[in-house]
C-alpha cells in the first residue's frame, strides 16, 4: 500500500565539488557551466535529476514500479507501446470503447481515454515519470505528465575559478600517429576542473500533482535518500569529489502550504566565513537557519 502525500514540501540541496567538473557545458567545450555576469558556477536541474535516476536504477531496479524511463540507450517510444500492450489495447484495431472513437484515427496511436490509461500505466511503472514528469506524446502517445517534484539550477555561493590542466596519455590510437612520433607514442589532452565550489539548488514537492502521478510518501522518502547519497554512487575522474553537504526540508502542515517558498529560503544564510580568503572545503562556510522567524505551520527536517 502506498501512502498519499498530504503535505507540501520545499527544500534546499547544498552540495560541493572539489577538483572536478560538476556539470560540463557542451556549448563551451565541456567547460564547467558558469554565469558569465557573476562568475558563479551552475549545475542544471537535468544534471541533478540524472544522478537521482542513476541512484534509483542502481538500488531499486529489481523492484516493480522503480524502472527508469529516461535512461542510457533507452528507446522511449518502445516503452510507450509496451504500456498500451500492458493495458490490453491493440493500437492497430478500432478502440474497444466507442467513446474513444468508432475507428482508429491513426494506426499505432492511442486516442481518447486510451491515452489516460497508458499514461497511468507509465506512472505506475517508472519512478522518474511519477516524480519529475515526462513528455510522452511521441509515437503511440501517452500524453504528458507534470511531475510533483521540481528543481532549479544549482548556483555556487561564490564565483568559481576554472583551472585548465594538460594531461598526457602514454599511447596513441593508430599506427599512423605512432609513425609521426617515431615511436614516442604520446597523446596530449586538456582537463578542466573547479578547485572548490559550494552549490545550492532549490526544490519543491506538490501534493496535488503527486496525487495525479501516484507519487507516494514512500517515493518521497526514497527521493530524500537519493539526494543525500547520490554522489556516492556517481564518482568519476572528471567530476572529482562531489558530496551532498546539507538537505534542508521545509514541511508544511497543509497541502497548499503555510508560507511562500521564497520566504522560507530566505531563512537560510550560507556564506563564507570571515577569516577564510579562498574556500577549499565545506568547513570554510557557515550555514545559519533563522528558526525564530519560521512561520507557524512549517517545520524543518
Whether the pLDDT of residue 100 is over 90: the answer is: no
pTM: 0.93
Looking at residue 156, its pLDDT comes to: 98
The H or E element spanning position 114 is: helix 113-125
Write out pLDDT tens, residues 223-281: 999 999 999 998 998 999 999 999 999 999 999 999 999 999 999 999 999 999 999 99
The H or E element spanning position 245 is: strand 241-252
Exposed, middle or buried: residue 270 (CB in 10 Å: 0-12, 13-18, 19+)? middle
Write out pLDDT tens, residues 23-72: 999 999 999 999 999 999 999 999 999 999 999 999 998 899 999 999 99
Average pLDDT over the chain reads: 94
Beta carbons of 44 and 34 less than 8 angstroms apart:
no
Amino acid at each position: 500500500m502506498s501512502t498519499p502525500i498530504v503535505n507540501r514540501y520545499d527544500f534546499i540541496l547544498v552540495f560541493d565539488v572539489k577538483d572536478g567538473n560538476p556539470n560540463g557545458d557542451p556549448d563551451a567545450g565541456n567547460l564547467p557551466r558558469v554565469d558569465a555576469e557573476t562568475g558563479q558556477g551552475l549545475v542544471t536541474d537535468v544534471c541533478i535529476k540524472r544522478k537521482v535516476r542513476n541512484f534509483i536504477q542502481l538500488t531499486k531496479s529489481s523492484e516493480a514500479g522503480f524502472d527508469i524511463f529516461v535512461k542510457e540507450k533507452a528507446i522511449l517510444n518502445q516503452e510507450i507501446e509496451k504500456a498500451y500492450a500492458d493495458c490490453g489495447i491493440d493500437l492497430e484495431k478500432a478502440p474497444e470503447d466507442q467513446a474513444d472513437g468508432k475507428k482508429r484515427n491513426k494506426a499505432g496511436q492511442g486516442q481518447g481515454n486510451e491515452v489516460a490509461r497508458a499514461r497511468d500505466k507509465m506512472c505506475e511503472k517508472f519512478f522518474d515519470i511519477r516524480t519529475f514528469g515526462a513528455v510522452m506524446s511521441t509515437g503511440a502517445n501517452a500524453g504528458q505528465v507534470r511531475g510533483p517534484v521540481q528543481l532549479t539550477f544549482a548556483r555556487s555561493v561564490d564565483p568559481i575559478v576554472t583551472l585548465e590542466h594538460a594531461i598526457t596519455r602514454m599511447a596513441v590510437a593508430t599506427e599512423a600517429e605512432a609513425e609521426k612520433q617515431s615511436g614516442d607514442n604520446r597523446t596530449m589532452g586538456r582537463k578542466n576542473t573547479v578547485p572548490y565550489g559550494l552549490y545550492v539548488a532549490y526544490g519543491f514537492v506538490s501534493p496535488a500533482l503527486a496525487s495525479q502521478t501516484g507519487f507516494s510518501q514512500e517515493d518521497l522518502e526514497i527521493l530524500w535518500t537519493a539526494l543525500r547519497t547520490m554522489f556516492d554512487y556517481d564518482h568519476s575522474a572528471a567530476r572529482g569529489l562531489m558530496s551532498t553537504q546539507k538537505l534542508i526540508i521545509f514541511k508544511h502542515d497543509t497541502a497548499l502550504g503555510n508560507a511562500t517558498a521564497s520566504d522560507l529560503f530566505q531563512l537560510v544564510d550560507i556564506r563564507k566565513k570571515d577569516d577564510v580568503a579562498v574556500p577549499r572545503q565545506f568547513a570554510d562556510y557557515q550555514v545559519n537557519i533563522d528558526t525564530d522567524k519560521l512561520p507557524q505551520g512549517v517545520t524543518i527536517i
